[in-house]
Amino acid sequence: MVTNTHTNHHDDTRVPSTSELFSIYGHHQRRIALRYLLDHECPVSLDELATFVVEHEAVCTDDRRCVSIELHHNHLPRLDCHGCIEYDIDTNTVERAFDDPTLKTAFERATGTFG
């Protein structure tokens, strides 16, 4: 499958295509995590992020470990790969990478939030 991507010429980072952005923002845990990163001082720990996701998914706190594992092995690496975040797997810390206005605007449009 061919995807259209472009490079942000300010810092030479790859900006995901529209199709990729819909895929990235299509999962509720990724949207919750990204919203948290937009609204809080970074970096944040994986534990802090997992706790927030659990609270906003209205799942049993016993599921926190499962959410943490999903974030660590699936969602955070995927978001990192697409340039939405920076995830340090060694320290389990996450930072937003929304310096590119295209990513922030696409996220806000996809989630219906503007600010």
CATH class of domain segment(s) 13-106? mainly alpha
C-alpha 4/C-alpha 2 separation (Å) is 7
C-alpha 115/C-alpha 91 separation (Å) is 30
**Domain boundary assignment for the chain:** 13-106
Q: What is the pLDDT of residues 60-103, one digit of tens each?
A: 767 889 999 999 999 999 999 888 899 999 999 999 876 666 66
Q: pTM of the entire structure? A: 0.76
